[in-house]
Amino acid sequence: MKIRKLLFSTLCMLALGTAFTACSDNDDPNNDFHDEGSKVTLPHHRAFILNEGTMGANNANISLYAPNKDCDFINDLFFQQNNARLGDTGQSMIEYNDYLYVIVANSKYIARLNTAGVELDRHAFNESEGDPRYMAAEDGYIYLTQYGGKVSKLDAETLDVVATFEGGSNLEGIAECNGKLYVANSYSKTDAGYQYHNEVFVINPQTMQLEKTLTVTVNPNQLVEENDKVFLISFGDYGAVGYTAQMIDPSNNDAVTVLTTATSMTAGNGNVYFVNSETDYSHWPGTSTTNTFFSYNIATSTLNQTSFLKDAPAELATSSIYSMDVDDEDGNIYIGVTFYSNSNGTIYRFQQDGTFVEKFDCGGQNPKKMVFVD
């Protein structure tokens, strides 16, 4: 969205007879928000937090944080706006064409929300279909991966399925780059156990046909596009092959380059931000983790092993990292930490130069994704 040049007055108070928080006035006719039906007035720079919840507990939610501090934190904004729970296992969320799209995996649906978190449309998947996982958007369509080997192409306004690609097994991450879809074919499960695959499919989004298959490190999962490159993290086989970060270069015949060892990533500011988390699960639910933060400069093709964080709270070095996201307006970096089903997670906020800003409760269990709207 375009950055606004007008200054708006702010109003933060509790509305009488209600349980919601009022924030900065959003009545300017020139703004790009779609806030119809909202029960709350929201700030002009918004961070929506998708909290995954605990599988089977039906406690996924979407909370709201105001980066400019012109609104109080709103716990479970989705419930306040829709008088309904989000569902079981919040999986993925994106912003596209001034709307939010959220996948709730175990509840088996994708929903379109307006910029106030009001649900407008929903597409539910049949029980016989694989769980929805991740999505990318381009040219008026949402491309959604599913377990069972399917990519569904949905009309972004109606959520009607208009075409599908079928191939592979359990499909995970997806990214759009230079008019192609890159899809991780992760693993399959048989009576003999797990089989980990080493494929990224390159799909033509217009025809939904496979154009080529790339060979990558086994168990590809996370995919992100930045500066016309596709970055991938494979989870390995949890044995001899470990977590591996790779780069796919569409301008060089989709050449795959191994970059480093990393367990999670996000991209922004011309960089890919990595963390490598070494976690001991042998005493579950107790865990012991050591985190190493580093980055990759895309323009210079340089891996910087120095942490991109400054003055980070000491506990972040040993916390269980669940998400990392970059605000494309100001370049701030947000790192989500989980305490699993024991309590709500925590978000750590850093400026673009890595300077620590603050930490705050994310409003739910297992912070999965942050989406920024302004």
Residues 107-146: tens digit of each pLDDT: 999 999 999 999 999 999 999 999 999 999 999 999 999 9
DSSP state of 60: B
pLDDT at 24 over 60: no
d(CA 362, CA 368): 10
24: amino acid identity, one letter:
S
d(CA 205, CA 179): 7
d(CA 366, CA 53): 6
DSSP state of 317: G
pLDDT tens, residue by residue, 229-250: 999 999 999 999 999 999 999 9
Say what the pLDDT of residue 285 is: 74
Q: CB of 175 within 8 A of CB of 144?
A: no
Say what the pLDDT of residue 93 is: 99
Say what the pLDDT of residue 31 is: 63
d(CA 222, CA 136): 12
Lowest mean pLDDT among 84-93, 284-293, 334-343, 359-368: 284-293
> Which element (helix H / strand E) includes 77?
helix 77-82
pTM of the model: 0.92
In this prediction, what percent of the chain has a pLDDT beyond 70?
A: 92
